[in-house]
């Protein structure tokens, strides 16, 4: 799918700055990679990527390019323009941006360089030189459904009336829509993104990221540290681009909801049947060990030497071929994301799905929602090209933890407890990359197939992860020849990640342009979890035989075996020193028995409204500590059952 974004292109001056930075951090010629940044036309690649980011991110990137160039003459008072510096001085100047105690400067350098590295290493010839050669088996047959119920590329003015309007087609919206459609209710599903199939998922990773992710995969939290929070924007939501890991919410978390939030309906024994139903529908099973790949092999070696034991992660991909590109859509249809099961089920039972259709506002009178006003969006230009007005008896908001509160606030819906947009948890995540003398081929197999939970009682969980070169490169906090040499040994790298059950809490604000502003800062307790977890991973990798590790800590870009893991405790590390991501936002419309402390009741109904429900991760009162997708699906079935029995 060729997507052409309309935006003001980089000027010649901006392109020159970008190319100068690129040739500094990815030097050539050196004999490491055959193609230089000029050979791959790096400026045009980054420019295309920028077209998929938010307007604010594009403006920031251009400003940052100029800022780096303008600051160059003042470096060591040499009074030389950026382009006139010799390469060694330019390298030192850019490295100074990373080493500074001024966090904004570090963020600027990371943002500018990350896009360059991503777009250089996504070039097929460069990725192949690194050793990444994905194998795509023929896709399984697609699920069948009445094609007339899939409404794509709509325009003009349309008005419809339905029993239920579901806003969102991800883990919260799709199961609920399917359940109500099977019960005979007339259902319409609204999805801001497009509908894609396995045949679309065979391009390079950055092209796929631009196509499937919101804002080009670079949605970022504000606070300390800034955290990248990738979200899907497509039919199936983030289930289409996640790892496929399936863990039930732990009983101790559900029991906490019962005694702390008065949610007796959510006791473990009362959720069991919904979990079982979800697992059957999406085909959860434990994959064979031969698909877990070299990443698991070397990590298990370290575990065995330390007397530890992990396990293979259950997944919704029974017929997985180990393509290794789960985060960019499954090219074989093995991963059963929502567009493979619940969406076809809903459409086969009469539901209608409108794609590239954004819900703008919910209209209501007193405590009764009347209509949902939506806009048809041209995916190429992001411009509105029509309007859909939906009159519905029940409205279910399933936009996800970050966008559900924004829609509610934009609609000025009641918020008696003032809780909408508060209590954000995100399962912040870190990763440790390790270099071995031996070939690992960590990309060959399931990217996330093994876990370790020996520190789960402390809120720390370890999960394997590996990605293509384009996404490994920005996580190695080095530059120049040193960085290129590591990337040339891509096949000798392994990686393991960690997520924490965060006690930190953030907020989501609705900006005037309708987008979320996410504020989240790591507290000292969660910082301590990261120090311990990263130390543990470094220990395991050195026990496995790694010669060097890259822990994604600015003060320790690389740690050698001679340094040892204990070096992490020898310097003061703050939240600002961590390079983190997050994949599981939860809690911004939390559920509870007390309307003064919660946004929705135990059935998912929005306090202050009679016919508005929320069905996504935003209703969870606390962090789960595990991947949340099947818990969200189970919650959706539970809420659907209530709506069907008690509201019709």
**Residues designated as active site:** 584
Other CB atoms within a 10 A radius of the CB of residue 138 amount to: 9
Pair 378, 385: CB distance under 8 Å: yes
CA angle (56 as vertex; 52, 57 as ends), nearest 5: 55
Q: Indicate left, alpha or beta for 642 from its phi (over 0: left) and psi (-120 to 50: alpha).
A: alpha
Provide the pairing of β-strand 352-354 with 187-190: parallel
Element (H, E) at 269: helix 268-282
| Cα distance between residue 360 and residue 547, in whole Å | 53
Taking every pair of Cα atoms in the chain, the longest distance, rounded to a whole number of angstroms, is: 76
Burial of 181 (0-12, 13-18, 19+ CB in 10 A): buried
- Please name the helix (run of DSSP H) or strand (run of DSSP E) that holds residue 559, with its range, or none: strand 559-560
Residues 173 and 325: their CA atoms lie apart, in Å, by: 25
CA 458 to chain centre: 24
DSSP calls for 149-188: GEE-S--EEEEEEEEEEEE--STTHHHHHHHHHHTT--EE
Beta bridge mates, 431: 497
Alpha carbons 289 and 278: distance in angstroms, whole number: 24
What's the token pair of residue 318? Answer: 């029974």
Would you mind telling me the total number of residues written for the chain in this entry? 648
Cα 475–chain centre separation? 15
Of 324, 331, 316, nearest to 286 (Cα)? 316
Cα–Cα distance between 157 and 151 in angstroms, integer? 14
Contact residues for 572 (Cβ-Cβ < 8 A; gap 6+) = none
Question: Cα–Cα distances in Å, from 549 out to 34, 493, 536?
Answer: 26, 9, 12
Q: In the 8-state DSSP scheme, what is residue 456?
A: G
Per the CB < 8 A criterion, the answer to whether 483 and 421 are in contact is: no
Three-state SS for 22?
helix
**CA gap 4, 193 in Å, rounded:** 15
| Spatial contact of 172 and 620, defined as CB atoms under 8 Å apart | no
Residues contacting 311, CB < 8 A, separation 6+? 450, 451, 452, 453
Distance CA 36, CA 117 (A): 12
184's CB contacts (< 8 A; 6+ apart) are none
CA dist 347 → 151, 333, 641 (Å): 11, 18, 18
């Amino acid at each position: 799918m060729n997507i052409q974004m309309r935006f003001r292109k980089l000027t010649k001056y901006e392109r020159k700055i970008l190319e100068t930075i690129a040739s500094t951090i990815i030097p050539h010629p050196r004999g490491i990679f055959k193609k230089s940044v000029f050979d791959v036309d790096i400026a045009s690649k980054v420019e295309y990527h920028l077209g998929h980011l938010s307007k604010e991110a594009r403006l920031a990137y251009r400003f940052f390019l100029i800022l780096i160039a303008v600051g160059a003459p003042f470096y060591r008072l040499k009074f030389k323009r950026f382009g006139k510096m010799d390469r060694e001085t330019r390298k030192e100047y850019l490295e100074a941006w990373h080493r500074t105690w001024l966090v904004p400067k570090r963020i600027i350098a990371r943002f500018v360089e990350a896009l360059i590295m991503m777009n250089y290493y996504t070039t097929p010839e460069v990725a192949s030189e690194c050793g990444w050669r994905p194998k795509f088996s023929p896709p399984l047959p697609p699920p069948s459904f009445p094609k007339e119920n899939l409404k794509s590329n709509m325009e003009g003015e349309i008005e419809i009336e339905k029993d239920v309007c579901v806003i969102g087609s991800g883990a919260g919206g799709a199961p609920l829509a399917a359940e109500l459609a099977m019960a005979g209710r007339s259902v319409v599903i609204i999805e801001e993104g497009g509908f894609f199939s396995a045949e679309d998922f065979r391009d390079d990773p950055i092209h796929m990221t631009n196509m499937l992710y919101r804002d080009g995969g670079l949605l970022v939290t504000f606070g300390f540290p800034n955290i990248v929070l990738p979200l899907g924007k497509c039919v199936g939501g983030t289930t289409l681009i996640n790892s496929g890991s399936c863990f039930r919410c732990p009983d101790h978390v559900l029991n906490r909801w019962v005694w702390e939030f008065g949610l007796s309906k959510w006791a473990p024994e009362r959720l069991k049947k919904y979990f079982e139903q979800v697992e059957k529908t999406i085909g959860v099973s434990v994959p064979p060990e031969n698909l877990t790949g070299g990443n698991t092999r070397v990590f298990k070696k370290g575990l065995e030497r330390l007397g530890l034991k992990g396990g293979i992660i259950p997944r919704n991909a029974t017929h997985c071929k180990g393509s290794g590109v789960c985060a960019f859509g499954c090219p074989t249809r093995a991963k059963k994301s929502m567009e493979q099961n619940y969406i076809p089920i809903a459409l086969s039972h009469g539901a209608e799905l409108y794609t590239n259709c954004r819900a703008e506002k919910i209209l209501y009178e007193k405590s009764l929602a009347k209509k949902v006003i939506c806009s048809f969006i041209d995916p190429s230009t992001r411009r509105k090209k029509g309007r859909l007005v939906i009159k519905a008896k029940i409205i279910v908001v399933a936009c996800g933890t970050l966008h559900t509160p924004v829609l509610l606030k934009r609609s000025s819906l009641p918020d008696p407890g003032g809780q909408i947009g508060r209590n954000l948890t995100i399962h912040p995540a870190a990763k440790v990359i390790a270099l071995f003398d031996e070939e690992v081929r960590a990309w060959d197999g399931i990217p996330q197939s093994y876990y370790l939970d020996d520190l789960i009682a402390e809120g720390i969980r370890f999960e394997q992860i590996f990605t293509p070169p384009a996404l490994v490169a920005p996580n190695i906090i080095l530059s120049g020849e040193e960085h290129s040499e590591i990337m040339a040994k891509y096949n000798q790298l392994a990686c393991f990640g960690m997520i924490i059950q965060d006690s930190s809490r953030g907020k989501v604000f609705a900006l005037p342009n309708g987008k979320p502003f996410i504020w989240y800062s790591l507290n000292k307790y969660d910082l301590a979890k990261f120090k311990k977890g990263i130390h543990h991973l470094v220990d395991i990798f050195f026990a496995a035989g790694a010669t060097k590790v890259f822990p994604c800590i600015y003060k320790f870009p690389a740690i050698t075996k001679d340094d040892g893991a204990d070096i992490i405790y020898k310097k003061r590390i703050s939240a600002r020193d961590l390079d983190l991501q997050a994949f599981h936002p939860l809690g911004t419309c939390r559920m509870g028995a007390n309307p003064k402390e919660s946004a929705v009741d135990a059935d998912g109904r929005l306090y202050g409204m009679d016919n508005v429900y929320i069905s996504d991760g935003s209703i969870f009162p606390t962090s789960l500590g595990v991947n949340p997708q099947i818990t969200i699906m189970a919650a959706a079935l539970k809420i659907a059952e209530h709506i069907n029995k008690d509201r019709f």
